[in-house]
Chains A and B, each alone.
Chain A
């Protein structure tokens, strides 16, 4: 725990040095907001509802999309990219040598502070969307939402860890980042609009459904107890698989020094 706190502190101090990055992020967040909202405006210019979702509810989806995207982009992705780069260049040696659990260490080494801005934008969109939809949220629903958000976070983390671990065998997988991002874009819309095979992919291969759609379903009274339990089960499963994968993968690592 102390290690995590320490690494976070160092990363934050590091990020605070580069204030231009802040403005670059402001612009980037603004642009993705334009794309997301513009898309909604054009779609709802032609229809009243999309697969049973109203425009206000879809705004809430976009809100959660931003929250989760911000969390992934600031907390998970930077460390995982650093990990892949380290594997490729053979500099992972330095991390393995340290006396803490290597998986823990490589997972918290780097954060991108300014990406958290998206989380703020997402919360604003979510609140506006839910108010417009006139949703009355019970404490239970809110609780389910938070639990689903955390479960989604753990699933995405495990997914990223598995992907990064693949680098132990395939070395050059820098395109994976693009794959994830383009698949994650699919989360801007409720996964039910996609053809069945794509729904399956977005649920189990790239866990966008659990990261975005399921938490929103919890807030809009669409979540069934079954998918709640399913999400919990998948979280445990993914985390275990990620751990096992990592243990096997790190044995394949041969380093590049000496």
Chain B
């Protein structure tokens, strides 16, 4: 394990540096990309603020300020869990994968490095936007030291689960040439089951149960619930455990599908 990491570390570092520089070069492009990510939570926030006002200031015990705290945290978690891996299809279909396969390491490592780099370079902008949302809708946070501390592993594991989930789905391109249908189904499930459109607390108990059995709740809703103090310490510990299990399961599923997929792969010669 340690040996492997010593081997991988320079690879991560190089990819990281290259990607930071690329992002700095295409500033307009990066700015637009961030803009496209902020519209969504603001829309949801506005909808729920309008509903809450219509209901006289409180919806199932949630105030506008609490919705605002929810979606501000949502932005941070979402930013970390966005995985631009839809290009897997294009890589496999156009035969670009050949070049990546002859390299001595699994291409996922370069992708992870790229992902980390793009997240860190865009983070300042995301924080700016979070502050902007806080001005539009003043949030009511009720932060405690332990919830903030528990939030960090919840956030990192949630983001990793989602990255691996999407990456593995992208591997479907080894068998079918169009994967956008698969990602479409994924996105729709995620909008309703991960707390992306609506806090899970507002959904019927059966739906929440389904969301908790599937990975969706653990990618977005759970970290937000943790930092908002909606869970007891016991629930947080159990949740972190479930996240760890999903992370383990996802990485094993990824390895398995990768192994089968690569055998399936036949390049279009260039």
Cα(A123)–Cα(B51), bound, Å: 27
List of A residues within 8 angstroms of B178 by Cβ: 20, 24
The 0/1 profile, CB within 8 Å of B marked 1, for residues 1-28 of chain A is 0000000000000000000100010011
Q: Chain B's interface: helix, strand, loop or mixed, by majority?
A: helix
List of B residues within 8 angstroms of A178 by Cβ: 32-33, 36
Known A-B contacts A31-B185, A175-B32, A197-B136; A185 and B40 likewise in contact (beta carbons under 8 Å): yes
Asked if B32 contacts A173 (CB within 8 A), the reply is yes
Find B54's partner among A35, A49, A198 (CB 8 Å cutoff).
A49
Cα(A186)–Cα(B51), bound, Å: 16
**A 153-187 contacts with B by CB, 8 A:** 170, 172-176, 178-179, 181-183, 185-186
List of B residues within 8 angstroms of A237 by Cβ: none
**A 198-248 contacts with B by CB, 8 A:** 198
Known: A39-B47, A175-B30, A183-B39. 5 other contacts (CB 8 A): A27-B184, A31-B188, A49-B54, A51-B50, A182-B39
Asked if A186 contacts B60 (CB within 8 A), the reply is no
23 A-B contact pairs sorted by A residue (CB < 8 Å)? A24-B180, A34-B188, A35-B188, A38-B191, A46-B59, A46-B202, A47-B55, A51-B50, A51-B54, A172-B28, A174-B29, A175-B30, A178-B36, A181-B36, A182-B37, A185-B40, A185-B43, A186-B39, A188-B43, A193-B49, A195-B46, A195-B136, A197-B136
Cα(A43)–Cα(B203), bound, Å: 10
Contact of A50 with B by CB under 8 A: yes
List of A residues within 8 angstroms of B42 by Cβ: 186, 194, 198
Contact of A189 with B by CB under 8 A: yes
How many contacts between A and B, using CB within 8 angstroms? 97
List of B residues within 8 angstroms of A97 by Cβ: none
Cα(A35)–Cα(B43), bound, Å: 14
Asked if A186 contacts B192 (CB within 8 A), the reply is no
List of B residues within 8 angstroms of A39 by Cβ: 47, 197
List of B residues within 8 angstroms of A42 by Cβ: 192, 197-198, 202-203
**B 221-242 contacts with A by CB, 8 A:** none
Find B47's partner among A27, A43, A173 (CB 8 Å cutoff).
A43
Asked if A28 contacts B29 (CB within 8 A), the reply is no
Chain B residues with a Cβ under 8 A of chain A: 26, 28-30, 32-33, 35-37, 39-40, 42-43, 46-47, 49-51, 54-55, 59-60, 136-137, 178, 180-181, 184-185, 187-188, 191-192, 197-198, 202-203
Asked if B47 contacts A193 (CB within 8 A), the reply is yes
Among the interface residues A24, A51, A181, which one has the most CB atoms of the partner chain B within 10 A? A51
List of A residues within 8 angstroms of B192 by Cβ: 38, 42
Query: Whose C-beta in chain B lies nearest to the C-beta of A169?
Result: B28
Find B180's partner among A28, A34, A197 (CB 8 Å cutoff).
A28
Known A-B contacts A20-B178, A31-B185, A183-B39; A172 and B197 likewise in contact (beta carbons under 8 Å): no
Asked if A182 contacts B191 (CB within 8 A), the reply is no
Cα(A194)–Cα(B53), bound, Å: 13
Cα(A38)–Cα(B181), bound, Å: 19
Asked if B36 contacts A172 (CB within 8 A), the reply is no
List of A residues within 8 angstroms of B54 by Cβ: 47-51
List of B residues within 8 angstroms of A197 by Cβ: 136
Cα(A66)–Cα(B50), bound, Å: 23
Among the interface residues B40, B46, B203, which one has the most CB atoms of the partner chain A within 10 A? B46
List of B residues within 8 angstroms of A179 by Cβ: 32, 35-36, 39
Find A46's partner among B37, B40, B60 (CB 8 Å cutoff).
B60
Find A28's partner among B37, B50, B184 (CB 8 Å cutoff).
B184
Cα(A128)–Cα(B50), bound, Å: 24
Query: Whose C-beta in chain B lies nearest to the C-beta of A48?
Result: B54
List of A residues within 8 angstroms of B59 by Cβ: 46-47
